[in-house]
Structure 1
Amino acid sequence: MTSFSPSRVLKTLFAATATAGLMFAAGGAYAQNTPGVLRVSAIPDEAPTELQRKFKPLGDYLAKATGLKVEFTPVTDYAASVEGLVNRKIDMVWFGGFTFVQANERSKGQVTPLVQRVEDEKFRSVFITTNPAITKLEDLKGKTLSFGSESSTSGHLMPRSFLLGAKINPDTDLKRIAFSGAHDATVAAVAGGKVDAGALNISVWDKLVEAKKVDPKTVRVFYTTPGYFDYNWTVRSDMNPALKKKILDAFLALDASTPEGKEILELQRATRFIPTKVSNYSAIEAAARNAGLLK
């Protein structure tokens, strides 16, 4: 658990990006371009085993739709997912809104957000606590708080933005800030009494409650943010247009009325997928610049 400052976050992000770049340059975590293979990854906002479990039916579906072998490779941090796509070691990535903005900036606009869930048009974050004295954001003053990853949209950037909007500066008004690294880890930190409160993605929160992995009477939501654009599937802009269309059409064709579509959509926590575009993430980019996370 570490304390926060915008300059430290920038140094951490740049150091992680540089490390990831060296790893890819050395031919590290990813296989080199292989004909007939669609290489896919995702930001590590949940445990690697959970990401693999969620992706397998979707990967099988995309393999049938494209005629390619689909390989999913988890990454260790958010920066590695950005560098993997930018350096052409990955073809498609499940990004959060902020990591898409980072990838778009890092590549000078050479990545394309393809689809998002309907739910991502008005995504939300929740603040949770076990402390009965905390009932609103203002009650966090003088308390300890855990975000998720420093690069997380729903686990850091947007919760930070809404705190600032409530005239709470996390760097000066809170006793201590920690970064858990993932949404489920934030819940564990709050439930275990390591921090007074935490902020995370509402989708993961709902999933943990439904799976009875957290008792909402003990760990409770005390604030839910307004909606904002968040997650998307992004591809490299230089991807073959015919392949890009096959992937897009496959996502748009997913239908909960079919057994296959129902399984995939439930695992992705989606009603359906819809096209998305760069301009949808302008508010997230503005929030990141305002927070000093993008220059």
Structure 2
Amino acid sequence: MFFKKKVISAAVLLVLGSANLSANVSQWPKEINFGVIPRAGATSMIETYGSLTKHLEAKLGIKVNLKTTSDYAGVISAMKFNHVQIAYLGPKSYVEAARRSKAEALAVEIDAETGIPGYYGMIISKKGSNIKTLEDLKGKKWAFTSSHSTSGTLVPSVMFMKKDIKPKKYFSKILYSGGHEASILSVKAGKIDAASTNNLDFQRGLGKQWNKDDFNIIWKSDIIPGSLMTARSDLPESLKKAVKDAFISYDDEVQLSKMKLKGFMSVKDSDYDSVRELMKIKKSMKKKK
């Protein structure tokens, strides 16, 4: 009799669990938009993240639309006004989106080369340009990526401040390229003398758009928390969990290889406190100037 009651109880729990799951899924939107920061041109971004978008659709069972923009701010703004519900963001753009756009951290990318959920910033110049040190950059044409970029602007800016380098006086010209691919290609073409980028975006173009021997790597930063997948915090909890699980389960080896990633792993908001600290340092040092 006792065994029979246990079986009945288990069956009831199973039915109730299924009912709750159905109720949760019924609260989901019929489709969601997936925004990605413009690390490269729109065509490259669609090629890179198209497979991941299809994976999300298959796992979630709802339509997922990939949305590309011409700048980092566009993705943050789109999330703020609910034009995108999930987004791929850099560390600094995530911190800004968490504050302004209800962004919640879900999964961070893992660097295939290092095996860690992070990357490092770099400064590059063209091979043969005789620009091999930070001192050699004085009076040269320089490119940041976007004001919202971590490795492309925040990290080198803090480094310059600590070294008492004032970019507007130090460089003959400063440009904002809009993305890492654009910065790297501009250095290769000789349109600018040097630029800040990172190892992951540099690796992604190796053998296709550039070769390692095309550049001098004249500076490297400490490890930066990785770029990450996020969702609006006001989405149903069951949907956020499903999106997170979908990213973590992504195992397309061909696409991951192209992205120079090992995969994705769980991440939390506090993992980006070091980025918040860099932002505070930049702000405080700017006030002292």
> Per the shorter chain, which TM-score range?
0.7 to 0.9
Aligned partner of 2:225 among 229, 236, 239: 229
In structure 2, C-alpha distance between the alignment counterparts of 1:210 and 1:150, rounded to whole Å: 28
Equivalent residue letter for 1:214: W
Q: Structure 2 length normalisation: TM-score?
A: 0.81
Query: 1:247 deviation in Å?
Result: 1.4
- Report how far residue 234 of structure 1 moved: 0.8
Say whether the 8 Å CA contact 2:75–2:87 is kept in structure 1.
Answer: yes
**Identity, % of aligned positions:** 26
Q: Which runs of 5+ in 1 are unaligned?
A: 1-33, 256-260
Choose the corresponding residue for 1:134, options 120, 131, 136.
131
Give the equivalent residue in structure 1 for 2:88. 94
String of CA shifts for 1:206-255, please: whole Å, max 9, x gaps: 122232x2243332222222211131111001111111111111222233
Give 1:57-76 correspondences, 5 Å limit.
Answer: 57-76=51-70
CA change 1:166–1:230 in 2 (3 A) is farther
Q: Distance in 2 between matches of 1:197 and 1:46?
A: 18
Counterpart of 1:145, as a letter, is W
Higher strand share: 2
Give TM-score, length-normalised by structure 1: 0.79
Greater Rg by CA: 2
Residue in structure 2 matched with residue 8 of structure 1 by the alignment:
none
Shift of 1:129: 0.9
Q: Please, what is the CA RMSD of the aligned residues?
A: 2.2
Equivalent position SS for 2:122: strand
Unaligned runs of 5+ in 2: 1-27
Q: Which segment drifts farther, 275-284 or 162-171?
A: 162-171
How far does residue 268 in structure 1 lie from its aligned partner after superposition? 3.3
Q: Work out whether residues 36 and 68 of structure 2, in 8 Å CA contact, stay in contact via their aligned partners in 1.
A: yes
C-alpha separation between the residues in 1 aligned to 2:73 and 2:61?
30
Inter-partner Cα distance in structure 1 for 2:222 and 2:129: 23
Report the Cα offset of residue 36 of structure 1: 1.2
Deviation at 1:132, TM superposition (A): 4.2
Letter in 2 for 1:123: Y
Pair 1:121–1:168, CA change in 2 (3 A): farther
2:212 counterpart SS class: coil
Q: Which residue of 2 aligns with 1:278?
A: 269
2:274, 2:164 → 1: CA distance? 19
- Paired position in structure 1 for 2:162: 165
1:54-107, Cα deviation, whole Å (9 max, x unpaired): 111111111111111111121232112111111111110100111111111213
Contact kept? 1:252, 1:274, Cα under 8 Å? yes
Q: Structure 2 CA distance, aligned partners of 1:267 and 1:135?
A: 29
Q: Distance in 2 between matches of 1:208 and 1:171?
A: 30
Alpha-carbon distance in 2 for matches of 1:174, 1:230: 29
Give the secondary structure class of the aligned counterpart of 2:205. Answer: helix
> Are residue 183 (structure 1) and residue 175 (structure 2) matched?
no
The superposition leaves residues 95-145 of structure 1 with CA deviations (integer Å, 9 ceiling, x where unpaired) of 0111111111213xx321100012373311221112543222233223221
Which AA in structure 1 matches 2:253?
A: K
Any residues of structure 2 matched to 1:39-58 within 5 Å, and which? 39-58=33-52
Superposition pairs for residues 76-225 of structure 1, below 5 Å? 76-107=70-101, 110-119=102-111, 121-130=117-126, 131-211=128-208, 213-225=209-221
